Amino acid sequence: MYTNYWKCITNLFIFIMKNSPFQVCLFYSRIKRDIAVLHKKIPGGKYMRLRNIRGSKETIAASDYVVQEPETHKGTWGQLFGNEQPVQIEVGMGKGRFIMDMARLHPDRNFVGIEMYDSVLLRAVQKREQLEEDLPNLYFIRMDARNLPDVFEKGEVDKIYLNFSDPWPKERHAKRRLTSRQFLERYDKILAPEGTVEFKTDNRPLFEFSLEEVKEAGWVLDASTFDLHHDAKLMEGNVMTEYEEKFSRAGNPIHRSEERRVGKECRSRWSP
């Protein structure tokens, strides 16, 4: 047991020495997020894994809230919703609190929540089944975000929300970050001409990386703050996620940015 302990300590020390502070911070943040997402606390102080929950695939396949073949609705999402309201999506919606609150607060918009993991999407489906009110302006999709251009037509999405995304700490995995220039290119293929991306995180290195990617991709940064909850203007209409509530309660500053793919010139609003 002691041998394994010291081996772990040695490997951790080697990792810290060989990598930059940025990579170490991203690695720590990812581990913290993975623990929160993949495990659920149960009585007795034990944890159970959320991945591969028995029956999750079957429940999702039978749910009226989940679009089973989203590619068939490319260019016709208005028909599915039964109206021509703007479509807004959340990529990596987790258990769905944010997207459900948004659908409740904004019945004049259509929302699509996207999640890659069956076990996490299952929680969102179960949570929605417990709601007293109906939300006809909200659907879920189980898919990999890399396939967004296969699901939405050019100009079909009005806004994209990215909330506390996986930081993917290793430098070679930078293109997997949902705010990387590779993903901004995918968003460019589905967003409306004045479409925007709103990003929130508590991870400062990831946030700084994301701001640089916005610049490198040639997008326009409309707003940015390193401390959202102390920025009165950007807090207007803010809807919190479960992570945001947890992290802000612990005293962690929340970072937020909003960027546009194209559009008229504007002055960025910066908060120190």
What residues are annotated to the active site? Answer: 166
Q: Are 82 and 155 in contact (CB under 8 A)?
A: no
d(CA 254, CA 113): 22
For residues 47-71, one letter each, b for 16 or more C-beta atoms within 10 angstroms of the residue's C-beta and e for the rest, the string is: eeebeebeebeebbeebebbbeebe
d(CA 254, CA 202): 5
What crossing angle do the helices spanning 118-129 and 97-105 adopt, rounded to 10°? 40
